[in-house]
Amino acid sequence: MTAAPLPSPLYVILDRDAARGRDILWLLEAVLDGGCRLVQLREKRMPMAELYPLARAIAERCRREGALFIVNDRADLALAVDAGGLHVGQDDLPAAAARGLLGPGKILGISTHNPAQARQALRDRADYVAVGSVFPTGTKEGFQLVGPDLVRALRPEIPDPLVGIGGITQDNAAEVIAAGADAVAVISAVCAAPDPAGATRRLMDRLAAALLMRR
């Protein structure tokens, strides 16, 4: 069965390091103001005593706005704050176990770096398959560069939404959509932008135009 479409062609990953000290909730407001309705919280080092109230606030704000909120890596946190779903990588909680924990009604996204991993994501009942790194990125150490070609190769056999991730900017986002992605995930392109609301709007406009060109 094909998973439901994602609510936005832009998927903004909120990352404290990329935000350079700016408040994450302020950044969330900018992203929502820019028109994005798909966000993820990526936080690897914050103590749970601080992370839980932050995630809860994001979840509540996204519910009010009709946005989908995804938690990176932490199934326990996603369930505790009633987030919309969970995103796991190849080195995180196994996707099949995550699917079992989440239960019905929650989104599961899985990072993949080759065709075999993408096919396994389908077997693990992913709701979307992330593919990357599409371009060189400074956000993730030891990234595997796959280029838009992997998105293009996977498109015919992956019925679920495909999300390109890694090094995506306003200048190259349309290329990822042209290759077959349904959405692109960004971190620095929004979180590190001087005007994150404006950056979000410009990305949304370029993605909308790219999707129209592909029809």
Annotated catalytic residue, options 8, 111, 133, 188: 111
CA distance 172 to 155: 18
Angle between helices 147-154 and 115-123 (to 10 degrees): 40
DSSP character string of the chain: -PPPPPS-SEEEEEEHHHHTT--HHHHHHHHHHTT--EEEEE-SSS-HHHHHHHHHHHHHHHHHHT-EEEEES-HHHHHHTT-SEEEE-TTSS-HHHHHHHH-TT-EEEEEESSHHHHHHHHHTT-SEEEE--SS--SSSTTPPP-HHHHHHHHTTT--SPEEEESS--TTTHHHHHHTT-SEEEESHHHHTSSSHHHHHHHHHHHHHHHHHHH-
Annotated catalytic residue, options 140, 152, 155, 201: 140
Annotated catalytic residue, options 16, 37, 42, 106: 42
Task: Give catalytic status of residue 140 as yes or no.
Answer: yes
Residues carrying an active site annotation = 42, 111, 140
